[in-house]
Structure 1
Amino acid sequence: MEPPEAGETCTRAQPGGDRPLAGRGLAPGKKNARRLGAHIVFVDESGFLLIPPTKRTWAPRGKTPVLLHRLRHDRLSAISGVSVSPVRGHLSLYFKLYPHNISQQEVLSFLRHLIRHIPGHIIILWDRWATHRGKLVREYAGRHPRLHLEYLPAYAPDLNPDEGVWSQLKSSLANGRPDDIRDLEGHLLACLADLRSSQPKLRACVHRSQLPLF
């Protein structure tokens, strides 16, 4: 569900790269990024159903719009990351889609994807979901000295620019009616590609999060 990737780098990790950020100011993450010349990648997961989300729309007075769809509970899971380059603040978007729930294996696959495509040190900022703190993930980070895991403050999803990615995708799906999983996948990939190619749209995700970091 993504373009072919280059070879993977495997090395050992730097101690102390896995710790929670202090306060909503995210100061440690900012300092580490400057010190290491690191890319910061905000990572999050979401799910998308064949049952479409709805939103307000126009209709003739007295005629309530009706959206017909098949009652199917098929779904796609997604993981993505909004990255910020260390010098110019250039934004990029990385993503993967899966036809099942996301576990540590899928998170590891995404981390490998980031390591292949992003040079230098990488600081991952994500929530404290148990999967993010799992043994396999921690061991993988322990083998890669340029991968650093940091945590967003508890109960602060609004600080993650990746939430803006999901918001834009779900808005694009609203009042739609994908025929099947393949149709849903095609729509998501097209929207993600459009978002990835637009600095203004990615910047809107960052501004929406009201991060003091940028």
Structure 2
Amino acid sequence: MYFEDEAGFTRRPPRGRTWGRRGRTPVVTVSGRRSGLLSVAGLIAVRPGARTRLCHRLITHPAGKGQRRSMGERDFIALIDGVHQLVKAPIVLVWDRLNTHVSRTMDELIAQRTWLTVFLLPAYSPDFNPVEWVWAHVKRSLANLAVMALDRLEALVRNRLKRLQYRPDTLDGFIAGTGLSLDIPTSP
């Protein structure tokens, strides 16, 4: 079973708590220019008898009018195809109702893959998706960090995600945080 979600990162840092001298509010200086967006799609893979895995795909979107500022259907399918080649097993995918996930193009791409079964989460239910916890964890680690270039932000996000890949216990905690029971039913 695989849970999928996507997130966007910009050079503007997420807000976080910090220490400062009494009476002096800490200030993080950030350039006001638009400099593009970093889109990230992530999958948490849960398999019986195997460790929990995190797979991800990053795409940089440069600033500019008329430029796409999010991942498209082909980007999501490329991630799923890559994971399928890695695990060499059928995939049961659970994801939200993002417009690119429920589009006609995506339906056609899914229909071409007999090894792929897709389930949609209920509307407005991010609490059921453990990948949301991954984004919260990564953004918390980037709080109050002003990045000057988009490629530096990409390196930082890639580094944080790579660290999580080697912490299956943390990924298991994200799954437990959803309250979902992923036990395999046993027959009496």
Over aligned residues, Cα RMSD in angstroms?
Answer: 1.3
CA shift digits 1:150-189 (9 cap, x unpaired): 1112221100000011001110110101120110000001
CA shift, 1:148, in A, is 0.5
Which residue of the other structure, out of 160, 168, 180, is the alignment partner of 1:211? 180
CA distance in 2, matches of 1:61, 1:161: 38
Is 1:82 paired with 2:44? yes
**Are 1:77 and 1:99, in contact at CA under 8 Å, matched by a contact in 2?**
yes
Aligned to 2:59: 98
CA shift, 1:98, in A, is 0.8
User: Which SS does the other structure have where 1:192 is aligned?
Assistant: helix
Q: TM-score, normalised by structure 1?
A: 0.77
CA shift digits 1:94-150 (9 cap, x unpaired): 100111311112112112112211221110100112211122222222222211111
Structure 2 unaligned residues grouped into runs of 5+: 62-69, 184-188
Aligned to 2:89: 120
Is 1:162 paired with 2:131? yes
CA shift, 1:196, in A, is 0.6
Aligned residues: 174
Give matches, 1:28-107, under 5 Å.
Answer: 40-73=1-34, 74-85=36-47, 87-88=48-49, 90-100=51-61, 101-107=70-76
The more displaced of 179-188 and 145-154 is: 145-154
CA shift, 1:65, in A, is 0.6
CA shift digits 1:7-54 (9 cap, x unpaired): xxxxxxxxxxxxxxxxxxxxxxxxxxxxxxxxx110011100101111
Aligned to 1:150: 119
User: Which SS does the other structure have where 1:88 is aligned?
Assistant: coil
CA shift, 1:72, in A, is 2.9
**Are 1:51 and 1:72, in contact at CA under 8 Å, matched by a contact in 2?**
no
What percent of counterpart residues are identical? 30
CA distance in 2, matches of 1:67, 1:141: 44
Cα 1:207–1:68 shift into 2, 3 Å:
same
Q: TM-score, normalised by structure 2?
A: 0.87
CA shift, 1:89, in A, is 5.1
Aligned to 1:183: 152
